[in-house]
Structure 1
Amino acid sequence: MTISVSPSPIPNSSEVSLATTLLNRDAYLTELLDRVIAPKVEGWLQQVRDRAASWVRHSALPTPRDEEWRFTDLSPLRQVKFTVQTTLGVSVQPDALPETANSRLVFVNGVYAPELSAIAALPEGVVISNLADLPVAYSQRVQQYLAQSEGALEVFTALNTAGIKNVAVIWVPKNVVVETPIHLVFIAAGDVAGISLPRCLVVAESGAQVTLVEEYKNHKDAKSAKEELYFTNAVTEIFVEENAQVNHTRLELDSTEAFHIGKTAVTQARYSRYTCNAISLGAKLSRHNLEILQTGEQTETTLNGLTIIGGNQLADTHSAIALNYPYGTSRQLHKTIVGDRAHAVFNGKVFVPKPAQLTDASQLNRNLLLSSKARIDTKPQLEITADNVKCAHGATVSQLEDDEIFYLQSRCIDEQDARNLLINAFAAEIINQIPVTSLRERLTQTVNSLQSKA
């Protein structure tokens, strides 16, 4: 049987002639590029950086006039002159998870911190390393994956690629099962407006299995209650080869004055299984682009998302699932809890072209508004041309029900505790999907502490 697959629907997947655009067309973006661009090196990595830098110089930051960004205004970002932070004089200590005490990579301001990392007792052949410290045997193999995902020409992704210096690399060989979760910690620290470019590359070879926790957080000065201003521009590429399995939890816990723009690009080969639990709690303005590209039949994809925001926060989640082959299965549930004047955005696309017969896909966005001034813009989308599929999508927007609160009050629970109990139950459906016990408990405590904000 021959399968013809249409061009990828993932945004910015195909390169166009740079001659059709102006060089350095966005002065702010060009200045930002000049600040983060990495020093010259020899070999293939420099070619990757140069290509990305050239694309950025011919690009512009998106505005609300762009359909994909119409609810997310980046004007506040343009008002800040960011600098590249170093780790000099920075003293931090990550909150270690008991399950990952010996399988942790830590990066401070995007720079690898070996003194905070711990790697031991991993199965033979498993590589967890910074790019610069990779064994020689893997250097050639990494070239086939790094910056090779669909959507690499999206402007923030290209900006990250142009500034590649440190990369967290996780490589799981064929048929190896990693029982211990692997923890990647990216910490923003410093007293000036800094920009960091975290980068991850995960390759699970045929038959491999791995659990990954990717965490972005702020190191607050204990002497100051002030939230720090910084910009994290993160990119994670995950390649799930034939019959491999990756369970991925992504936590965004940045300062409420920070900017966070992240990309997770996943490529799934046939019979592979990928699960993402994406939790967004911090940042003044955050955006997570989650893109799944199916490259073989009978894949399984599960996407669980939870966003909790308050104050004047804006959190934007965009997902694109390209199911190009038959017998694919995808399940997506994204929940948001929005309080005060906060604004949440969800845009989820599922593409099922004609070759993808017998696809089974569902998508649901559920939203809970805790304030009359809170706002949600939601747009679940299905684009189907196959004629033998089972697909569904939907969205709900609601508030806490008075009769539910009254029922709990009738059981001797005061009003605030009743509200918190209902909110916790709404969030628990996503948190309980996280496979790391201590992380589930920590997140439950974090959600409880955010109740007053939300």
Structure 2
Amino acid sequence: MAVQIPFATISQVTESAVVEDIFLTGLLQQCQIDKNQPQWLRDVRQQANSWLSRLSVPTRKDEDWRFIDLSDLTQTKFVTSSVMRANGYSPLEKTENSRMVFVNGIYNTEFSNINGLPKEVYVGDLNNLPQEYDAKEYFAQCHGAQDVFTSLNTAGGNNVTVIWANKNTIVETPIHLVFITDGESESIFTQPRMLVVGETGSSISLLEEYTGVGEYFTNAVTEVYLKENARVNHTRLQEESKSSYHIGKTAISQERDSHYTINEINLGAKLFRHNPEVLQQGEQTESNLNGLTIAMEEQTSDTHSIVALTKPCGNTNQLHKCIVGDRAHTVFNGKVFVTKEAQMTDATQLNRNLMLSPKARVDTKPELQITADNVKCAHGATVSQLEADEIFYLRSRGLDENDANQLLIDAFAAEIIDRLPLESLQTKITETIKQKVSN
């Protein structure tokens, strides 16, 4: 019997969804699909288009979206763009020979260089994928592929970046993918898409970065497939502009003895939503989800995660932290499913929130659904403010109030930042947080 896990789904179109239907139709009309794509890929896109015709943009009436108002997004007219400016972007030096840069959804050769990667790993466009790789077995085959934003990406996305590590290939250099959007002159719409496959015994490290200026909408989807004993260390950095909208899906499928870790840093965007969804399909599988969200001013940041353990001896550990100030709003909904077959599993989940303002808002809902009877599972959530006693202690040691506050905030964030793979990235994130909080 197939395991029934409620991955992301969106309600059917109703009469009240007329505005959203026009919004989706307008976005699809902006997408220009490459007619030279293989027949199987055109079939997949057509199927996604068919799903999309029966779906609507979610509203507050949908349980998984009840804390988010998408009306500003749906009332904005977005266009695709061929502008290739990358103003002000400062690339990380440690990834200078393993970097792919996309500007407004278009591959930029000026900033890109993948000469530092071994020949045993393919990094490039799906249309140029060698015949020995069977992408149709993986592309758009992830669980939850029929939700509205994933369907929109599948139906209307053009460039698909493929990272494919051959059997027993070890890639020590982080593979850095940068998505830059320039929405200063017009509201831009982009749909980044990545397909990551780690064959048996392979090991790779990914750095997925989103940044930009102006008003734009990023609808990103990343699919990660790990074969037996494969390892993927995934860093996702979202540092979009203050006027942007970012909705993302990261779907992970793991086989026996595989290890997956995601370190997620969310700093920007006017409205942000990310859906990490992990499906453990093999025994002795390990999944680690580490997240840090910084929301200030009037930002809305939402993380909805699903981890499904379906085989014995699985392990998952999730720690998501939020720092919320001004009138910002953060949402965390983490679901862990342990099926009857997943005996002797170990699952922990914790959401910790630090509120810096009385007008900030936090909604948190960690969930466990267990049908196995021999497991070790725990979950929890905390919401707190800076402790007056701790601030007093630091001030008694000569620090002023601002420095004392910043030291406590840095300590709260350090547990996640210290897990990032590059020291230069750790420094960059720490300085960015300090700037956001001080402003």
Same fold (TM over 0.5): yes
The residue aligned with 2:281 is 295
Q: Does the aligned pair in 2 maintain the 1:24–1:30 contact within 8 Å?
A: no
Deviations 1:55-76, CA, capped at 9 Å, x for gaps: 1121100001000000011111
The residue aligned with 2:8 is 11
Quote the Cα distance in structure 2 between the aligned partners of 1:354 and 1:426: 36
The residue aligned with 1:74 is 70
Is structure 2 residue 175 aligned with structure 1 residue 182? yes
What SS does the aligned partner of 1:327 have?
coil
Q: CA, structure 1 residues 356+38, in 2 after alignment: closer, same or farther (shift >3 Å)?
A: same
The residue aligned with 1:359 is 345
Quote how far apart the aligned CAs of 1:99 are: 2.1
Deviations 1:32-53, CA, capped at 9 Å, x for gaps: 2222252544511111111111
Match of 2:299 among 294, 297, 313: 313
Q: Does the aligned pair in 2 maintain the 1:94–1:185 contact within 8 Å?
A: no
Structure 2: gaps spanning 5 or more residues: none
Q: Does the aligned pair in 1 maintain the 2:19–2:74 contact within 8 Å?
A: no
Is structure 2 residue 381 aligned with structure 1 residue 395? yes
Quote the Cα distance in structure 1 between the aligned partners of 2:344 and 2:400: 50
Is structure 2 residue 93 aligned with structure 1 residue 107? no
Which residues in structure 2 correspond to 1:382-421 (within 5 Å)? 382-421=368-407
Quote how far apart the aligned CAs of 1:156 are: 0.2
Give the aligned residue type for 2:418: N
Give the aligned residue type for 2:73: L
Quote the Cα distance in structure 2 between the aligned partners of 1:101 and 1:275: 23
Quote the Cα distance in structure 1 between the aligned partners of 2:350 and 2:194: 28
The residue aligned with 1:54 is 50
Deviations 1:194-235, CA, capped at 9 Å, x for gaps: 1000001111100000111000001x4xxxxxxx11000000
The residue aligned with 2:315 is 329
Quote how far apart the aligned CAs of 1:78 are: 1.4
Give the aligned residue type for 2:132: A
Deviations 1:334-379, CA, capped at 9 Å, x for gaps: 0000000000000000000111101100000000000000000000
Quote the Cα distance in structure 1 between the aligned partners of 2:130 and 2:153: 24
Quote how far apart the aligned CAs of 1:187 are: 0.4
Deviations 1:79-128, CA, capped at 9 Å, x for gaps: 2011112235x254642222211001111111112232101132232111
Quote the Cα distance in structure 2 between the aligned partners of 1:288 and 1:17: 21
Quote the Cα distance in structure 1 between the aligned partners of 2:55 and 2:83: 30
The residue aligned with 1:225 is none
Q: Does the aligned pair in 2 maintain the 1:238–1:267 contact within 8 Å?
A: yes
Quote how far apart the aligned CAs of 1:25 are: 7.9
Give the aligned residue type for 1:178: V
Quote how far apart the aligned CAs of 1:256 are: 0.9
Q: CA, structure 1 residues 79+33, in 2 after alignment: closer, same or farther (shift >3 Å)?
A: same
Deviations 1:376-399, CA, capped at 9 Å, x for gaps: 000000000101100000000000
Which residues in structure 2 correspond to 1:203-352 (within 5 Å)? 203-218=197-212, 220=213, 228-352=214-338
Quote the Cα distance in structure 2 between the aligned partners of 1:6 and 1:174: 28
Quote the Cα distance in structure 1 between the aligned partners of 2:71 and 2:86: 32
Give the aligned residue type for 1:162: A
Which residues in structure 2 correspond to 1:54-203 (within 5 Å)? 54-88=50-84, 90-92=85-87, 94-138=89-133, 141-190=134-183, 191-203=185-197
Quote how far apart the aligned CAs of 1:5 are: 4.6
Quote the Cα distance in structure 1 between the aligned partners of 2:35 and 2:51: 17
Deviations 1:13-46, CA, capped at 9 Å, x for gaps: 9xx999xxx9998222222222225254451111
**Comparing 412-421 and 185-194, the one that deviates more:** 185-194
Quote the Cα distance in structure 2 between the aligned partners of 1:254 and 1:436: 20
Deviations 1:121-167, CA, capped at 9 Å, x for gaps: 322321111223333433xx111111111111010000001112111
Quote the Cα distance in structure 2 between the aligned partners of 1:162 and 1:250: 24
Q: Does the aligned pair in 1 maintain the 2:324–2:354 contact within 8 Å?
A: yes
Quote the Cα distance in structure 1 between the aligned partners of 2:76 and 2:23: 10
Give the aligned residue type for 1:303: L
Q: Does the aligned pair in 1 maintain the 2:195–2:222 contact within 8 Å?
A: yes
The residue aligned with 1:223 is none
What SS does the aligned partner of 2:253 have?
strand
Quote the Cα distance in structure 2 between the aligned partners of 1:367 and 1:283: 19
Q: Does the aligned pair in 1 maintain the 2:229–2:258 contact within 8 Å?
A: yes
Match of 2:422 among 411, 417, 436: 436
Quote the Cα distance in structure 2 between the aligned partners of 1:23 and 1:424: 46
Q: Does the aligned pair in 2 maintain the 1:24–1:58 contact within 8 Å?
A: no
Quote the Cα distance in structure 2 between the aligned partners of 1:177 and 1:299: 19
The residue aligned with 2:354 is 368
Quote the Cα distance in structure 2 between the aligned partners of 1:313 and 1:192: 21
What SS does the aligned partner of 1:193 have?
strand
What SS does the aligned partner of 1:355 have?
coil
Deviations 1:243-263, CA, capped at 9 Å, x for gaps: 000000000000011000000
Q: Does the aligned pair in 1 maintain the 2:60–2:69 contact within 8 Å?
A: yes
What SS does the aligned partner of 1:114 have?
strand
Q: Identical aligned pairs, as a percentage?
A: 55
Number of aligned positions between the proteins: 434
Which residues in structure 2 correspond to 1:8-47 (within 5 Å)? 8-12=5-9, 26-36=21-31, 38-41=33-36, 42-47=38-43
Quote the Cα distance in structure 2 between the aligned partners of 1:78 and 1:419: 38
Give the aligned residue type for 2:170: V
Give the aligned residue type for 2:243: E
Q: What is the RMSD of the two structures over their aligned residues, measured on CA atoms? A: 1.9
